[in-house]
Amino acid sequence: MESTGCYDKDLNLEATELRLGLPGTDQTEPTTNKRSIHQTKEEDQEGGSKVASSKAQIVGWPPVRSFRKNSVQPKKNKAGTEAEASGIYVKVSMDGAPYLRKINLNSYNGYDQLLVAVQSMFRITIGRHSEREGYGGSEHAPTYEDKDGDWMLVGDVPWEMFTRTCKRLRIMKGSEARGLGCGV
């Protein structure tokens, strides 16, 4: 097996691209496939992100049936379907604030962490959730729009169900909020 030698260190995507045809017809070496493979190996030793980019260019790899790829993948775009890496970003608006914010629901373990973050983001106090009184005593009530389009009080349903069904958040203020605080 030939030694790795000194290969081009910068991210020469064209040379490492694993295309369907022979890579690089301008290369003079007969075993052009082999060269691209070794460069890929070199990349892999350098770091994860480069591997990901050359991986993404290979048609039909990894060899997972398209049906399975289409089934397990697109769910990532639906709110709250998996517990791992990618985020569930929802808009957060507060009555009276000049612009909206966006948060990643996946970065919180539960309501406590979410409310701490929201309170800090908007510099407000919301207080604790109680089944009977909602956020009684607070000027603000955190609400969310669910899959059915209804505005619900944050905190009533289990966290997973919330992340799955929440489309956007709205911090209600003033009299509207106090109305919600009476737990209707």
d(CA 65, CA 17): 23
Supply 65's token pair: 């049936």
User: Quick check: 44 binds another protein (CB under 8 A)?
Assistant: yes
User: Quick check: 69 binds another protein (CB under 8 A)?
Assistant: yes
Rule CB under 8 A: choose which of 59, 99, 120, 131 binds another protein. 59
User: Quick check: 67 binds another protein (CB under 8 A)?
Assistant: yes
Kindly state the smallest distance separating residue 165's Cβ from another protein, in Å.
10
Closer residue to another protein (CB): 88 or 94? 88
The residue assigned the tokens 């609400």 is 143
Three-state secondary structure call for residue 155? coil
Interaction pattern, residues 144-183, with another protein; x per rule: CB under 8 A: -------------xx-xx--x-------------------
Closer residue to another protein (CB): 8 or 95? 8
ω into residue 62 within 30 of 0, thus cis?
yes
What is the binding site for another protein (CB under 8 A)? 1, 18-22, 31, 33-34, 37, 40-41, 44, 48-49, 51-52, 55-56, 58-69, 71-73, 75, 81-86, 157-158, 160-161, 164
